Amino acid sequence: MRELEAVVHPQPEAEFLAATFRVFAEAHPWVGAADLRPKSIAREIFEGYLGFVDYVREYSLARSEGVLLRYLGQVHHTLVQTVPEEAKTDEVHDVVAYLRTLVREVDSSLVSAWEELLAPPSGAAPGPSARPPFDLAQQPRALAARVRAELHALVRALSRGELEEAPRLVAQGALGAWDSERFRAALAPFLEEYGELRFTPDARQARLTQLRPVEPRVFDVAQVLVDPQGDLLWAIHGRVDLRGELDPEGPLVEVVRIGS
């Protein structure tokens, strides 16, 4: 039993976090030591870039799916609400975007309810301390992170042959609808040439996701596809149009084509 009690989950940066928290607590005496609770589950899911279903299946959590979903939503909301914008690094933006995409894939109502809480009431005059509406087009790091998260989720689905899932991960707008058969047909030449689409840590490097403004509030995007030969000649090409909304609730990326 003593050996079992000594077993703990991995705690990277534990000493740094504890020391930093002690400094914080000195200026905020109402904060207790028990409040330092690193989110090991969220960290494991993000580091492995796991899908929600993957994690549920890995740990046989079918009876606790709702609890896991609420937990991941709370981690996302805590990062959004409590970390000041000036303190958010590219890595923090990536975690926020990944969790937002993950939760929305399962239950978009959780993300919608949270964003409604943050938004001022309709027709209400903003007070002196009210935060301005969040405009994704004016937040390049947040926009890039969200585009990466969406495109990585799409590549993960395509690499696994989950073509029925793929249409839910992209915006269906003026550029034409993408259903499972259209994805299948567009990806078929790539698979015929290379045999498989890889979704490894190397395939998730930030340099493989490209974002370029083409006109005010409109961006061209591309996600380079990783093949076994390392040719990197194919990509998912798309567009993000933010002229209609400041911070769209659903997917941002409309797919234009998949090709070289």
pLDDT tens digits for 205-221? 999 999 999 999 999 99
Specify if 4 maps to a domain: no
Of 118, 151, 179, the one marking the end of a domain is 118
Q: Looking at the domain assignment, is residue 183 inside a domain?
A: yes
**Alpha carbon distance, N-terminus to C-terminus of the chain:** 58
Residue 250 has phi, psi (to 5 degrees) of -90, -165
Give how far the C-alpha of residue 61 lies from the chain's centroid of Cα atoms, to the nearest Å.
22
Q: How many CB atoms lie within 10 A of CB 239?
A: 18
Out of 80, 96, 118, pick the residue that ends a domain: 118
What's the confidence (pLDDT) of residue 221? 98
The pLDDT value recorded for residue 2 is: 66
171 shares its domain with 258: yes
Residues 17 and 114 in one domain: yes
> Of 148, 174, 149, 178, nearest to 166 (Cα)?
178
pLDDT at 85: 87
| Count of beta carbons in the 10 Å neighbourhood of residue 94 | 21
pLDDT of the residue at 19: 86
| 134/88 Cα distance (integer angstroms) | 15
DSSP H or E stretch at residue 188: helix 180-194
Answer whether residue 140 is part of any domain.
no
Note the pLDDT of residue 191. Answer: 98
| Total domain count, the chain | 2
Q: Where is the domain boundary, 49, 83, 118?
A: 118
pLDDT at 36: 73
101 and 196 in a single domain? The answer is: no
Report residues of the chain scoring pLDDT below 70: 1-9, 32-35, 109-131
Would 17 be classed as within a structural domain? yes
- Identify whether 99 is part of a domain: yes
Distance (Å) of CA 58 to CA 52, 68, 98, 163: 10, 13, 19, 22
Residue 72 belongs to some domain of the structure: yes
Which three-class secondary structure state does DSSP give residue 97? helix
Which pTM was predicted? 0.82
pLDDT of 89:
92
Strands (E), 193-252: 209-215, 218-224, 235-241
Mark whether 110 and 173 lie in a shared domain: no
Give the pairing of strands 253-259 and 235-241: antiparallel
The angle, 0 to 180 degrees and rounded to 10, between the axes of the packed helices 65-82 and 40-48 is 90
On whether residue 171 sits in a domain, the answer given is yes
Are residues 20 and 107 both part of a single domain?
Answer: yes
Per the structure, the complete domain to which residue 114 belongs is given by 12-118
Is residue 129 domain-resident? no
Whether 111 and 19 map to the same domain: the answer is: yes
